[in-house]
């Protein structure tokens, strides 16, 4: 576990500090977060750790190291929303194809993000996790965002679309 998360947990009951840390997530309010980041020994110019501190301040009760990565978090969001068993439909060729759930579409959009876009998309999913009571592994998320690339995307996708979680087509098509 990172020292940043240890320090965040120690001050998570400080509502003022948490409010200031959440400001890092809003472009025109970032300056309000800088003193709080300094108190946590986070360099203001280190974008990813500051971002993680803001996410933690938004959803501190959701921190969990039992979740493997953010792909698993997104899958849990989908299940919490009751979307994991969407219907099959026939396309023009007559073959059966599973419709994507809204969470799957958001997750695909997240995986398509480049380094400049990823933070905004992750922020939206963390806020969805908060609304659904789903935990986030912030230590792993910090690492994954620092090394954002194809390897991380593949790991998240493998956690989200795990074999055996899709409904079985009983007609054998």
Domain co-membership, 96 together with 157? yes
Structural domain tally of the chain?
2
Of 11, 36, 58, the domain-final residue: 58
Phi, psi at 98, each rounded to 5°: -75, 130
- For residue 16, the model assigns a pLDDT of 97
Of 58, 82, 101, the domain-final residue: 58
* Encoded tokens for 89: 């439909």
CB 8 within 8 A of CB 42: no
Mean pLDDT of the chain: 87
CB 69 within 8 A of CB 151: no
CB 83 within 8 A of CB 103: yes
Helices and strands of the chain, counted as H and E runs = 9, 2
Domain co-membership, 40 together with 79? no
Q: Which residues pair with 97 in a beta bridge?
A: 89
For range 150-160, the mean pLDDT: 96
Residue 33 inside a domain? The answer is yes
Give residues with Cβ within 8 angstroms of 113, minimum separation 6: 121
pLDDT at 173 over 50: no
> Nearest-CA neighbor of 85 among 103, 110, 106?
103
Residue 167 inside a domain? The answer is no
Domain co-membership, 74 together with 119? yes
- For residue 50, the model assigns a pLDDT of 97
Percent of the chain with pLDDT over 90: 76
- For residue 83, the model assigns a pLDDT of 82
- Interval 77-129: pLDDT, tens: 999 999 864 444 444 554 445 688 999 999 999 999 999 999 999 999 999 99
The residue range of the domain holding 37 is 1-58
Domain co-membership, 77 together with 152? yes
Is residue 96 within a helix (H) or strand (E), and if so which, with residue range?
strand 96-98
Give the Cβ contact number of residue 11 at 10 Å: 17
Q: Which stretch of 74-78, 157-161, 162-166, 167-171 has the lowest confidence by average pLDDT? A: 167-171
Domain co-membership, 84 together with 112? yes
pLDDT at 61 over 60: yes
- For residue 48, the model assigns a pLDDT of 96
Residue 128 inside a domain? The answer is yes
CB 57 within 8 A of CB 63: no
């Amino acid at each position: 576990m990172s020292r940043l998360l240890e320090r965040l947990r120690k001050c998570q009951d400080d509502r003022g500090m948490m409010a200031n840390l959440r400001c890092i997530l809003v472009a025109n309010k970032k300056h309000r977060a800088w003193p709080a980041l300094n108190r946590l020994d986070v360099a203001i110019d280190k974008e990813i750790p500051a971002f993680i501190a803001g996410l933690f301040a938004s959803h501190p009760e959701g921190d969990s190291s039992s979740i493997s990565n953010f792909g698993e978090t997104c899958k849990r969001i989908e299940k919490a929303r009751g979307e994991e068993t969407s219907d099959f439909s026939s396309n023009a060729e007559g073959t059966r194809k599973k419709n994507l759930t809204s969470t799957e579409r958001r997750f695909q959009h997240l995986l398509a993000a480049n380094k400049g876009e990823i933070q905004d998309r992750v922020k939206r999913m963390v806020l969805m996790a908060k609304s659904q009571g789903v935990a986030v592994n912030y230590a792993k998320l910090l690492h994954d965002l620092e090394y954002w690339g194809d390897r991380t995307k593949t790991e998240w996708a493998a956690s989200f679309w795990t074999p055996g979680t899709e409904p079985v087509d009983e007609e054998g098509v």
